[in-house]
């Protein structure tokens, strides 16, 4: 019985380490076409720039969250359509990220 308990504790610990590693490795990248969210170096979410309606720091109640451990760096991205139109991300430098994303959206809209 104690062997089973140790095995369960090891599995729960391994799951905790995996979740911590996943949350700690959330990264965001702005490309010419889309905003990409990567977890453990794999792109798990891609939002086309033409689908983004607004970028701000106000937050949102109904949202899709791809935030890392720095919740105070939250940036809200409002999409034009979808079930959860708001997306929360937490880049390292939120003001610079918002500026870069806004410039990329404007460049995409104008075709430059």
* 38: β partners: 27, 43
Report the SS3 class of residue 79. Answer: strand
Q: Which of 92, 103, 107, 53 is nearest to 76 (CA)?
A: 53
The number of distinct structural domains making up the chain is: 1
Confidence category of residue 53, pLDDT binned at 50, 70, 90: very high
Q: Note the pLDDT of residue 45.
A: 93
Q: How far is it between the farthest Cα atoms of the chain?
A: 67
pTM score above 0.85: no
Q: What is the pLDDT of residues 56-86, one digit of tens each?
A: 998 888 888 888 777 888 999 999 998 899 9
Helices (H), the chain: 2-24, 94-110
Q: Which of 60, 59, 31 shows the shortest CA–CA distance to 45?
A: 31
Domain at 19, CATH number = 2.30.29.30
pLDDT tens digits for 1-33? 588 888 888 898 888 777 766 666 788 999 999
Structure confidence at residue 63 (pLDDT): 87
Residue 5 is given by DSSP the state H
State yes or no: pLDDT of 36 exceeds 80. Answer: yes
Model confidence at 110: pLDDT above 80:
yes
What range does the domain containing 91 cover? Answer: 2-110
């Amino acid at each position: 019985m104690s062997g089973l308990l140790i095995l369960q504790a090891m599995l729960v610990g391994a799951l905790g380490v995996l979740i911590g590693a996943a949350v700690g490795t959330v990264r965001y990248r702005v490309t010419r076409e889309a905003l990409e969210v990567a977890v453990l170096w794999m792109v798990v979410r891609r939002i086309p720039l033409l689908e983004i309606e607004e970028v701000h720091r106000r937050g949102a109640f109904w949202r899709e969250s791809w935030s890392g451990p720095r919740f105070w760096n939250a940036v809200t991205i409002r999409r034009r359509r979808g079930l959860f139109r708001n997306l929360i991300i937490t880049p390292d430098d939120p003001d610079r990220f918002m500026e870069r994303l806004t410039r990329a959206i404007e460049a995409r809209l104008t075709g430059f």
